[in-house]
Structure 1
């Protein structure tokens, strides 16, 4: 009997370890996105302080995306090749977010704010390949669900963060608030490193050059991967345009103060807390396309409706409904790509997908800024709607092969 109990306990330990890892990385994702989403709430104040044009505002977002894109491929390689050091990578990502806001608070020029956004983009680039590749391999049997739950952490940060930041801005200036956020970031970075370092140190150290390049070759020989990335790029262009100009639309056209700006911004992400687990489960059971195609078509329709209300409940309802799909669809698209990628290059594949999207979407905020300067805020939402319907059209032609049954968990790698 003691032998049986010992066997059962040993069998449960990997499951408990996986759950702890998922919970820890989900919490870390919350922190990363809290810091990422402070910027849109700060943006109207930064614009007012520096007297920025619409095109310059778009340039700020492009700088953030560009930095994230340039660093994401090296970060993906590091996630695959230096598995034992992922704890350092994850902790560094959290620390970078706090340091970025310190720079923002002491930067009185456009160049200084650009530096802050480059650092903020770097924090995102460091975090995602290591966390996503870890969960993709550890939960290969329920990849869509695991990545969706990881995405819930992001949605919590994306929704609770702006609401809290908007409320605090009623009491203190944005520069003081930015400075205060450095110390928690450093503390949480240290806690993240301590929490996961033992897990990674017990796993394999990396992979051979031959297996790595074989996995890379597989990325370029699968048309499905590129079709998913093209569709995701359309979605990303629309999302980036909305992220850039929706806060300004709410502040300048609707006349909302910082609290109501934070409230509506939180709505855009809060609904994903509830929808993402369901989307992940459905995609694991019925396929990625079954979830993504109708989601993109629905988002296209909601973008069309967004500028129609004159504020009030109806605008909040449209933004909240859009929030059901705004973030979570990206996790399902990532799962679709990782389904057909080699287990040896999961981090690099996620990074390559991100880099592809970054390159395509990089001009989007500046293009959106030009559209706004010529035709007004409403037209940027119509432009985003066209992009979403284009993404849905691409997905209509995508065929995802039936996923092979994968074992759950692959050690530390």
Structure 2
């Protein structure tokens, strides 16, 4: 984000977008060169164990019958809605409401990512020791509180601190939710459970942009943050519906 802010100042929107797309193609090329040969060897070794399409659909049906899996998917969907809304409308709020320069907007968004960078390993260690539920609830509760008060901050430095705390709380829950899903599903359905989880997240994100845009046009950008606080609050309440299980404790 910080580099993008400087690119906007130097090059403008169009050229900055072109330059920002270069790392995507570089990473794609590296993945193609480094993983292609390995995947061929692994696929050849596991060809006899590969699930058929019917097996995959049967696995999805079993997962959908598990109320804990469904609750975790829906909870993750609300959490992803909150994150997507922030990534879309936080820059607009910083630029239009706080009147920050592009470099300052980039620095603020970088603070959010740095908060997440610090939080994820700590959250993983904590969840291994105390279980998944306390970590997710702490992250969601912190996110709800910060979203509710962030629009009251009018000092740039305090805003950066608030956004970094927001990133710390929101990103901390992501790897823990993935681990939680693996805990409550059988090992042979781990891939299906992940596809169901990410599919649910995509479905929840489908209606978010026009809804938030309508709210912003009607009541202002500040109202969008109250909506996002509501979505993460719903996710927090749904945490109580999922057992705080030990790894591989639930196989239904």
Q: TM bucket by the smaller chain? A: 0.7 to 0.9
Match of 1:236 in 2: 80
Q: Distance between the aligned counterparts of 2:20 and 2:221, measured in 1?
A: 32
Aligned to 2:151: 307
Q: Determine which of 208, 218, 221 is the counterpart of 2:51.
A: 208
Tell me how far apart the structure 2 counterparts of residues 263 and 187 of structure 1 sit (CA, whole Å): 24
With normalisation by structure 2, the TM-score equals: 0.88
1:353 to 181, 197, 208: 197
Query: How big is the shift at 1:261?
Result: 0.8
Distance across 2 between alignment mates of 1:184 and 1:388: 31
SS of the equivalent of 1:327 reads helix
CA contact (8 A) 2:136 2:172 kept: no
Q: 1:140-151 alignment to 2 at 5 Å?
A: none
Following the alignment from structure 2 to structure 1, what is the Cα–Cα distance between the partners of residues 25 and 77?
A: 33
For residue 186 of structure 1, what is the aligned residue in structure 2?
25
Tell me, yes or no, if the aligned pair for 2:85 and 2:212 is still in contact at 8 Å: yes
How large is the RMSD of aligned CA atoms in angstroms?
A: 2.1
Show the counterpart of 2:217: 373
Matched positions, count: 244
After TM superposition, give the deviation of residue 183 of structure 1 in Å. Answer: 5.1
**1:401 Cα offset (Å):** 3.3
Separation in structure 2 between the aligned mates of residue 299 and residue 340 of structure 1, nearest angstrom: 25
Cα distance between partner residues in 2 of 1:342 and 1:214: 13
What TM-score comes out, normalization by structure 1 length? 0.55
Partner residue, 1:265: 109
Asked if the contact 2:131–2:245 (Cα under 8 Å) also holds between the matched residues in 1, the reply is no
* CA contact 2:59–2:192 (8 Å) conserved in 1: no
Q: Where do 1:321-400 residues align within 5 Å?
A: 321-400=165-244
1:83-102 map, 5 Å:
none
SS at match of 1:271: helix
Shift of 1:213: 4.1
CA contact (8 A) 1:218 1:342 kept: no
Tell me: CA distance 1:349–1:188, structure 2 relative to 1, closer, same or farther (3 Å): same
User: CA shift at 1:197, angstroms?
Assistant: 2.7
Unaligned runs of 5+ in 2: none
Question: Aligned partners of 2:20, 2:76: CA distance in 1, in Å?
Answer: 32
Distance 1:326 1:317 in 2: 14
- Contact 1:215 1:342 survives alignment (8 Å): no
Cα shift at 1:300:
0.4
Q: Distance in 1 between matches of 2:210 and 2:57?
A: 36
- Deviation sequence 1:212-264 (CA, Å, 0-9, x none): 34432331221111111222222222222222211111001111111111111
CA distance, structure 2, for counterparts of residue 221 and residue 272 of structure 1: 33
- The correspondence of residues 70-85 of structure 1 with structure 2, limited to 5 A, is none
